[in-house]
Chains A and B, each alone.
Chain A
Amino acid sequence: MDSLLVFELTILVLSIFLGIEVISKVPTMLHTPLMSGTNAIHGIVLVGAILVAGRGGGDTLTRVVGFCAVVLATANVVGGFVVTDRMLEMFKIREPRKPDS
């Protein structure tokens, strides 16, 4: 086991604890946006998709597979953030309601 792996495992474990800590404070009311927001965050795989698509050189398989990965990951990122924004838009602070006439 090399030291890079140990370092990465440390980050992983600490991040899991951080995730649990942060998320346990989210109220039930916002659980749907939370699910959708974390869904957008795992769109970070786009970074990985770009790296494999860009590093393959002229290799056809890497190009094609990388291309598909970038399409899927971009849809995940963009769709995820837009859907979450639409949900959260509804939780905006409202002016006091006017009495019905």
Chain B
Amino acid sequence: MNADLTNLLYLVTIVTFVLALRFLSSPKRARQGNLLGAAGMLLAIAVTLAQDGLDNFSWIAVAMAIGAVVGIVGARSVKMTAMPQMVALFNGVGGGAVALIALAEFHNLAREAGGLAGEESVSILLSALIGSISFSGSLVAFAKLQELLSGRPIVYPRQQYVNGAILLVALTLGIAIIAGAEGDALVVGLILAAAVFGVLFVLPIGGADMPVVISLLNAFTGLAASAAGFLLHNNVLIVAGALVGASGTLLTLLMGRAMNRSIANVLFGAFGSVQATTAAAAGADGRSVRSTSPEDLAIMLSYARRVVFVPGYGLAVAQAQHDVRALAELLEAKGVGVLYGIHPVAGRMPGHMNVLLAEANVPYDQLKEMDEINPELAQTDVVVILGANDVVNPAARTDPSSPIYGMPIIEADRSANVVVVKRSLSPGFAGIDNPLFYDPKTSMLFADAKQALEQVALAVKKL
């Protein structure tokens, strides 16, 4: 296949990718868009396999078969609640692939007469560096979300200096490559140093900030793919990588804004490590909480005019999305107005709660974003908080010393009654004490969200 035809067909792939992203602006066509993107991807792969001068087809076929099986099994078997870490994992392997492409291409080009051109060596530096950081960083993010590693920030003295030194080693090796030094060991060393940097870069970031990290690493893999496109002179890699890079960067900034924190603070603030001690102390200072029973909650809900559910990660962990919908339907049958207040960073990924509740067939028109629900809360009888914590913490509004001060929250404390369904009084993922729990109009139902909702639903039926 000649180069012009190849590039024309790659252009078709690019169009399908852009349309796939465009179709994501409405839930109606989003799925078709994804299928269109997959078709475009298939076209690009077929076109690539039809290139002149390729051999090793049997190796490539075996490798693709292995990758496809891993991908399908992984993606099919994962539970909806574990989606964020699965996305992190797939992101990581993409980054790893780019780093390996850089190594193989360096090896190939170095053997050819004339060696590397300047921009090729810059592309090798960038794709090996960014790809490898994305690979190891995503694996750490995966391990944190899967709770193989502690979700708390892992910090040690002089962390920034150590990270800086390792990054410097990687860059020095890269500069040696650009200066014309040869030897595969240089690229291997660069990849290893970048991988260590990726691990150390993500370790000190708390579990609650993992969505931001995954989004950023997604952007990294995109940019690494673009760099590989410069290396291989391949348009579809450049464009697709740039689209992903732009998307990941934009999402990262949006999430930072939703938490009212700068991206630098998220990445380097080791958020949640210092506050753990103050939270523990505050829990012991004698303030009392009121606890309630599923039966009392059932009565309170049944006689309310409006109930707002505020879901958080606890709902996802307990797999309680179907139970909340079942309870909501029982209440609606009794004439209670039910809404859901969704904080933009509730759960572990932006929009995570929307996906879960959509899985449980909750109608979209009941899902209200933070800015829509807040003005309604003063006229709400009961707010039920299901496994959410930091996103309803009034300290964000009232306590300038709180680490989350200034973060926009769902103002649950404005409603007439608040019920918090939570397993214990322990602080949330960010490790910050929540004064809402000690508010006189708050009652706590200490239980797993799923069991609690089942019991409440049973009690509502009996009324």
Interface of A with B (CB < 8 Å)? 1, 4-5, 8, 11-12, 15-20, 22-57, 59, 61-63, 65-94, 97, 99-100
Binds A, one of B40-48, B193-201, B417-425, B442-450: B40-48
Instruction: Say whether, besides A28-B350, A81-B41, A83-B83, A74 and B67 are in contact (CB < 8 Å).
Output: yes
Contact of B108 among A11, A31, A62, A89 (CB under 8 A): A62
Please list the 6 inter-chain residue pairs (A to B) with the smallest Cβ-Cβ separation, ordered nearest first.
Answer: A74-B67, A19-B246, A78-B71, A54-B54, A79-B71, A15-B242
Number of interface residues of B (CB under 8 A): 116
State A16–B333 Cα separation when bound (angstroms): 49
Closest B residue, CB atoms, query A61: B107
Taking CB atoms, residues of chain B closer than 8 Å to A51 are 48, 51, 54, 232, 234
Contact of B367 among A29, A50, A69 (CB under 8 A): A29
Taking CB atoms, residues of chain B closer than 8 Å to A69 are 96-97, 100-101, 104
B21 touches A22 (CB 8 A): yes
Whether, in the assembled complex, B59 has its beta carbon less than 8 Å from a beta carbon of chain A, the answer is yes
Taking CB atoms, residues of chain B closer than 8 Å to A85 are 31, 34-35, 38
Contact of A72 among B41, B67, B225, B247 (CB under 8 A): B67
CB proximity to A under 8 Å, residues B20-54:
20-22, 24-28, 30-31, 33-35, 37-38, 41, 44-45, 48-49, 51, 53-54
B225 touches A83 (CB 8 A): no
Contact of A35 among B33, B49, B218 (CB under 8 A): B218
A77 touches B41 (CB 8 A): yes
A34 touches B24 (CB 8 A): yes
Taking CB atoms, residues of chain A closer than 8 Å to B75 are 78-80, 82-83, 86
Residue pairs across A and B with Cβ atoms less than 8 A apart, 7 shown, are: A15-B238, A29-B354, A34-B351, A35-B248, A39-B244, A53-B56, A93-B28
- The residue among A40, A51, A61, A79 with the most chain B CB atoms within 10 A of its own CB is A79
Say how far B49's CB is from chain A's closest CB, in angstroms. 6
CB proximity to A under 8 Å, residues B331-389:
333, 344, 349-352, 354-355, 358-359, 361, 363-364, 367, 369
Closest A residue, CB atoms, query B20: A37
A26 touches B87 (CB 8 A): no
- The residue among B78, B229, B329 with the most chain A CB atoms within 10 A of its own CB is B229
State A93–B359 Cα separation when bound (angstroms): 12
Instruction: Say whether, besides A8-B238, A32-B354, A35-B87, A75 and B70 are in contact (CB < 8 Å).
Output: yes
A75 touches B71 (CB 8 A): yes
Whether, in the assembled complex, B304 has its beta carbon less than 8 Å from a beta carbon of chain A, the answer is no
B108 touches A56 (CB 8 A): yes
Whether, in the assembled complex, B251 has its beta carbon less than 8 Å from a beta carbon of chain A, the answer is yes
State A89–B350 Cα separation when bound (angstroms): 18
B184 touches A61 (CB 8 A): yes
B351 touches A54 (CB 8 A): no
Whether, in the assembled complex, B94 has its beta carbon less than 8 Å from a beta carbon of chain A, the answer is yes
